[in-house]
């Protein structure tokens, strides 16, 4: 099966789960990326879906537009304290449910909305499952002011000459810039420590390490037999 078809089958499973195993009028946080896009497409095929949910919080303009297109009510984080489920893809996920996210540039909103959720359900094909985090470059969103100093402060944490920071061309929805850190190889403990250190650098808006209260509780993925669910403590 192609990677896209695997993502579609994961998305189909997740759409059925969300409409059949959640309370009516619940609130869902919806991530960003191709797997999420397939999930929204699948929700659009379920006639009851738009009425089942009170609404959804969206993590990007692209996701919001797709949700509106299938009739989902869009809610704003300002009006809500807590949501039942946050559902999103990942760029990498390890055996503890820790992730690298932000390949699509939406990491800041993703992290905020994930932090409001009682549980994070990750939907990711099994190519995203890794032993160590960091083969996928770690995105860090910065305010553009004094970019060279901020990047210098970020790189000084690592003390590793093999690392490099590459700036993306595009500006984010928050008017930030994203640099991707290449060459990391992080255990869970490393990832937890690094996330905390990056959060302390002035000018860093958010980093793409999802640990602590934003790590995954469940992973919907695939193996050779079909869909499998992992749960993390």
Integer-rounded Cα radius of gyration of the chain: 17
Among the listed residues 87, 134, 119, 141, the one whose alpha carbon sits nearest the alpha carbon of residue 213: 119
Give the nearer residue to ligand A5P in terms of CB position, either 54 or 168: 168
CB-based burial label for 229 (10 Å; 0-12, 13-18, 19+): exposed
Closest CB to ligand A5P belongs to which residue? Answer: 33
Please pick, among 42, 110, 141, 195, the residue that the annotation labels catalytic: 110
CA distance 81 to 88: 19
For every residue of 112-152, DSSP letters joined together read HHHHTEEEEEEE--GGGB-SSB-SSPEEEEE-STTHHHHHH
Q: Is 173 a catalytic residue?
A: no
Place of tokens 């901020």: 150
Nearer to ligand A5P, 11 or 52 (CB): 11
Minimum distance of ligand A5P from residue 92's CB (angstroms)? 9
Minimum distance of ligand A5P from residue 143's CB (angstroms): 18
Looking at beta carbons only, is 55 or 102 nearer to ligand A5P? 102
Minimum separation from the CB atom of position 29 to ligand A5P (A): 12
Q: Where on the chain is the footprint of ligand A5P (CB under 6 A)?
A: 31-35, 88-91, 101-107, 110
8 or 52: whose CB is closer to ligand A5P? 8
The bridge status of strand 99-100 relative to strand 92-93 is antiparallel
Pairing of strands 92-93, 53-58: unpaired
Q: How far is the CB of 156 from ligand A5P (least distance, A)?
A: 26
CA gap 46, 150 in Å, rounded: 46
Active site residues: 110
């Amino acid at each position: 099966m192609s990677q896209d078809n695997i993502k579609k089958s994961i998305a189909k499973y997740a759409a059925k789960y969300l409409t059949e195993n959640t309370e009516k009028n619940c609130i869902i946080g919806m991530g960003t990326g191709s797997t999420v896009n397939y999930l929204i497409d699948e929700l659009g095929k379920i006639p009851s879906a738009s009425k089942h949910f009170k609404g959804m919080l969206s993590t990007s303009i692209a996701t919001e537009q797709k949700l509106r297109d299938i009739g989902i009510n869009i809610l704003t984080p300002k009006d809500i304290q807590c949501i039942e489920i946050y559902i999103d893809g990942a760029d990498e996920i390890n055996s503890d449910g820790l992730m690298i996210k932000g390949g699509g540039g939406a990491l800041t909103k993703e992290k905020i909305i994930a932090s409001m959720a009682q549980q994070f359900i990750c939907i990711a094909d099994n190519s995203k499952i890794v032993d160590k985090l960091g083969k996928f470059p770690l995105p860090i969103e910065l305010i553009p002011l004094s970019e060279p100093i901020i990047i210098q402060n970020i790189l000084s944490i690592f003390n590793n000459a093999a690392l490099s920071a590459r700036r993306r061309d595009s500006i984010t929805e928050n008017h930030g810039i994203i640099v991707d850190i290449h060459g990391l190889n992080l255990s869970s403990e490393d990832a937890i420590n690094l996330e905390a250190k990056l959060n302390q650098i002035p000018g860093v808006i958010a980093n793409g390490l999802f640990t602590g209260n934003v790590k995954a509780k469940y992973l919907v993925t695939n193996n050779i037999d079909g869909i499998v669910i992992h749960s993390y403590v």
